Amino acid sequence: MPTRIRSNGMSIALLINQFVSTTIAAIFLPTVGHYGYASMFFFWAACTVLYFLVAAFLLPETKGRTLEQIEADFRGRKRLAGRLSGSTRLPCPHSNRESAPRGTSSFKVTHRPGKWIPA
């Protein structure tokens, strides 16, 4: 993914993070004053449990993988979802042709000493 897109994504993520942090800081003391510390503790404990369940069962393991491998994994999930819905081929985003099914390649490359040549 290009750096420009990543930087825009990080800017949006930072904006959302600051908005949520400000909102929590603004409502914390009035909520504690009205309901007490125990209710806030249990609310945030429930949020933590919910996050743990989402992270444990819905997010893929990325330890030791490159960004390209992670992106390919997500692309494979989209392709699998397309196959399950009846579509067997997805458009290739980099050309006007359809991509080959997963595990096959419609573009072969052979290696000759000193250069890579398309077959």
**Model pLDDT for residues 11-58, shown as the tens digit of each residue:** 999 999 999 999 999 999 999 999 999 999 999 999 999 999 999 998
For the entire predicted model, the pTM comes to: 0.50
pLDDT of residue 11: 94
CA-CA distances (angstroms) from residue 103 to 76, 100, 106? 10, 8, 10
Distance between CA atoms of residues 55 and 63, nearest Å: 14
Nearest-Å Rg of the Cα atoms of the chain is 23
Determine the average pLDDT of the residues in 83-104. 52
Phi/psi region, residue 35 (left: phi>0; alpha: psi -120 to 50; beta: rest), is alpha
